[in-house]
Amino acid sequence: MNIAIGIVIIAITAAYVAAPFFAPEPAAGSGGSVGHGPAARQKLERQKLDAYAAIKEAEFDYRMGKLSDVDFAGLRAKYSAQALEAIAALEAPQATAARQSSGPRRPSRIAFCPACGHAVPPRANFCGACGRSLKEEAESYKLKATS
């Protein structure tokens, strides 16, 4: 009697463990494609992380002298392309939503100093000619223009 119960328990356990091997494959268009659902997002995240890891590994091998310049450049280009592809696929829905929700864009920098009219380079905080703060001058210029 104990042997029969043991055999039944073993058979049930074996069937439970082997069930995933006999389950049908999901259809190709049922949510497993790129760009749909959390499973596809996880796959893209994994692709990005794997590419990053491969780039780090190639850089380490290159510094250790195991890779030539040509081999390192080829590997880096290959894995960089894979990472960029995954990043673009991950950010595509967000970029589309951001473009649709935002209104018309306005200039994000000052091209000329409002105080002296001198051309200023991008990301400059102060005018190179008069030395005034571009942020303060721009705010005072906006106040004058609106009143």
Domains of the chain by residue range: 34-101, 108-147
Residue 112 forms beta bridges with which residues? Answer: 119
| Rounded (to 5) percent helix, strand, coil in the chain | 65, 5, 35
Q: What is the pLDDT of residues 64-91, one digit of tens each?
A: 999 999 999 999 999 999 998 988 888 8
Mean pLDDT computed over every residue of the chain: 80
Of the pLDDT bands very low, low, confident and very high (cuts 50, 70, 90), residue 34 is: very low
Answering whether pTM is above 0.75, one says: no
Please give the helix or strand (H or E) that residue 9 lies within, else none. Answer: helix 2-22
